[in-house]
Amino acid sequence: MARPLIALVGRPNTGKSTLFNRLVGWRKAIVDSVPGLTRDRLYGVTEWRGREFSVVDTAGLGLDQNDAQGQTRVAIEEAQVLVFLLDVRQGLTAIDRDLADLLRRSGRKVLVAANKADDPRREYLRSEVLELGFPEPVMLSGQHGIGVDDLLDRVLELLPPFQAEPEGEEAAARLAIMGRPNVGKSSLLNHLLGGERSLVSEKPGTTRDPVDTEIRFDGLPVVLVDTAGIRRRAAARDRLEHFSLLRGIKAMERADAVLLVLDATTGVLSQDQHVASYALEAGKGLVLVVNKIDLLERGERNQAVWQKQMLHEFKFVSHAPVITLSAKTGQGVAKLLPTALEVVGQRRLRIPTNELNRLLREAFAERPPPSYHGRRLSLKYATQANSETPTVVLFVNDSGLVHFSYRRYLENRLRQRYGFAGNPVRLVFRAGSGRD
């Protein structure tokens, strides 16, 4: 089930990115940071009081300062809750008032966050905010973490309740086709469908909205979601481009796995890595699809060569399988769906609890954890969580003794035994016996 989407909106320099980083990193150590990517990311997942939701930082969408209303309109169309950020040090500006009017008329759920309130005893602009017609604002400091608990509690109050999945035949897999504009996503979808059902154009960004299409593969229902291309921020200027990006993120959220389409003629760009990091953050399966190999010299089409290159370019998702193909000629396309279905199947693998504990105890015995200040991590009990993303909860003596290298070692041991190909494996360490 897709996570609710929370958007941080407001004029520039109100601290949206600082608050975003605080929210997605709040008491959360599920995946390692991706070097060179986390600085510019605009999407993340956070959890509060047992519920996960996605957060989008509209400051990262690359709009000019004069386009604050434009990015707010985009967020209004897609997010379940809008967090309207103000700077208490500067007071209400004309742009703030214009955005407030836009939000008020939208009829959407809006939570006002008065940021940079480092001294909770001061009133700041509370009375001015109330004049805008919104409920009591949350006074906070994204930089220092003051009031963030209160903000998250208020967000939970505004989120829609969990909804049961609609009745009907459940798809064997939901696959989101993502990637930069003009890498051949629509052409690939057309080939999988066996007909020209999606508009194909040489102009980048032709596809604007995600379209769900169900096909049958070996008798199994598979849903394909063709999403709009994700442009680099410097090139993304118009409202439709940002609308497409948010729609792409939402499409990914309700998918089991992402088919990340890359252009073999241009190689791997930072935007490609960003999309892969989004899939990792969301806990989705991932298949790297290298398209347009028909445009390469024969010696450059070797699968093994691309496998090695992708392992170098996507070290943080080394678990993802690589498929080389040509959506135009059909070369290699037949390998894609079987690989994607295997990835989805791997994420649904359940490990018997006794087997899981036996394996982890063997891992601890063969390579004991390092000692810190005379103390050593010890395993009491482990169990696999009931989660869409493969997640193992380890009850230990002290979760603060877990080193990232030992976390990686345990993850590798799990992968060696059970695979989980194409999927992130989350290890959650908790202090306690786990048997209460």
CA–CA separation, 286 vs 342, rounded Å? 11
**DSSP code, position 273:** H
Q: Tell me if residue 29 falls in helix, strand or coil.
A: coil
Taking each helix axis from N to C end, the angle separating 336-347 and 185-193, rounded to the nearest 10 degrees, works out to 90
Q: Is 23 exposed, middle or buried (0-12, 13-18, 19+ CB in 10 A)?
A: buried
Q: Is 436 exposed, middle or buried (0-12, 13-18, 19+ CB in 10 A)?
A: exposed
DSSP conformation letters of 89-104: TT---HHHHHHHHHHH
Q: Identify whether the C-beta of residue 232 lies closer than 8 Å to the C-beta of residue 270.
A: yes
**Residue corresponding to tokens 């809006």:** 110
Binding residues: 57-61, 115-118, 179-186, 226-230, 291-294
CA–CA separation, 282 vs 3, rounded Å? 9
Q: Tell me if residue 1 falls in helix, strand or coil.
A: coil
Here the contacts of 331-336 (C-beta below 8 Å, separation 24 or greater) are 331/293, 331/294, 332/293, 333/188, 333/191, 333/192, 336/188, 336/192, 336/259, 336/287, 336/289
Beta bridge partners of residue 288, listed in sequence order: 260, 322
| Torsion angle, alpha carbons of 63, 65, 67, 68, to 10 | 100
Cα angle for residues 252, 324, 179 (degrees, 5° grid):
30
Binding residues for GTP: 57-61, 115-118, 179-186, 226-230, 291-294
Beta carbons within 10 angstroms of residue 223's beta carbon: 18
Q: Give 3-state DSSP helix, strand, coil % of the chain, rounded to 5.
A: 35, 20, 40
